[in-house]
Amino acid sequence: MPTPHNPKNAFLCARHKALACNNSTRCRALVKRLHLEGRQAVCSSQWSKAIPILGTALESTETLLQQNTVSPADIEQYLKLSLELIYVCRKAQHSIHIDELIEVVKRQLEPHYSLSRAQKQLAPLLDVAFKPIAQVDYWMQLMLALEEKRLHTLQ
């Protein structure tokens, strides 16, 4: 199984990465679809199934953050995906280099935020990565429920 942010074993192949880089609208649609699919796997506790789905969505979103114009929604999506990916990796007991992933997220945020703002944005990610899993479970269930409610309100 791919490992988050290991270039030799990435989720997104070179061909699809090039496609994502060349068409940001299509990339956003792919990310949205993958995120919903990953959320379905998370909600049904299919942790191992969710890892490659969320990993591919995260790497696709990284291509959006490297564009000339980056929307705040892309940054928010990237933070959510990184948080959810770390969570499902912990739940699946999947070997992951959390420190490396957090460094990658920090590097992706640096061009878009001041250092203090980036550190503030990383706080929930650090909690999910290092707090006891029982606390994280409660927090993630609450976050997913609020997100679900927000989506239903918009529809």
For residue range 24-71, list pLDDT tens digits in order.
999 999 999 999 999 999 999 999 999 999 999 999 999 999 988 889
Instruction: Count up the domains in the chain and report the number.
Output: 1
Residue 107 within any structural domain of the chain: yes
39: in domain: yes
Residues 6+ apart with CB under 8 A from 78: 58, 61, 62, 64, 65, 105, 108
Residue 85 has pLDDT above 70, yes or no: yes
Please check whether residue 1 lies inside any domain of the structure.
Answer: no
9, burial (CB in 10 Å: exposed 0-12, middle 13-18, buried 19+):
exposed
User: Which domain range does residue 68 map to?
Assistant: 7-154
What confidence score (pLDDT) does residue 4 get?
56
Between CA 128 and CA 12 the distance in angstroms is: 24
pTM to 2 decimal places = 0.87
Residue 2 lies in a domain: no
Coil, helix or strand at residue 105? helix
